[in-house]
Amino acid sequence: MLRRALELCDRHADVRTILAALAASVVLGVIPLSYAVARIGAGGQGAVPLDILNAYTPAEAYAMIGRYSADAREYYVLNAFTADVLGPALFGLTIALLGTALLRQLTAPGSWWRTAAVLGPLVGFAVDVVENAALAVLVAGFPERHDDLALFAGAATTAKRVVIFATWALVLGAALVLLVRTLMRRPAAP
């Protein structure tokens, strides 16, 4: 599966496809997820979706869920299996394509760096889906507590963030190396 993902990214990592993936990420990801944050936070009291935090303990998770209105909890569960799956999938695709396009200019085919540029978004997405399922169970079952599941969800949230930030750092690093190379090749002004 990884080999196939690498081949697809390499074949389709061009400006038009990257821009299309980015546009789809905004329309089908950013907009719906922004709405979700607003709707979940509408109950006030500083309520935010747990999966946008970097980390939390079971006590912090249940304190946050307790701030959600009944409507917010119902919507949280629906969103966990719709927009919060589609959006991250599209974001991951965009980053994988962009990383592949940038690293193609810096590394040989089959390099570890190119693999990481595709594997990072895949792993991040997989962890995000598991995190969404765990959080949906916690939110749907509230006020009943499942501290072990909350601990697992918190660990998944943190792991997702680490993988996503590492992948972004790889792509940003590749972009910076290419920028420096381009600037170094320019002839000096007379």
* Stretch 84-107: mean pLDDT: 96
Question: What residue ranges do the domains of the chain occupy?
Answer: 2-185
Q: How confident is the model at residue 43 (pLDDT cuts 50, 70, 90)?
A: confident
The pTM score is: 0.90
Categorize the per-residue pLDDT at 45 as very low, low, confident or very high, splitting at 50, 70 and 90.
confident
Cβ neighbours of residue 88 closer than 8 Å, sequence gap 6 or more = 29, 124, 125, 128
- What number of CA atoms fall less than 13 Å from residue 27's CA on the CB side? 6
Segment 13-34, tens digit of pLDDT: 999 999 999 999 999 999 999 9
What is the dihedral angle through the alpha carbons of 161, 166, 168, 173, rounded to the nearest 10 degrees? 160
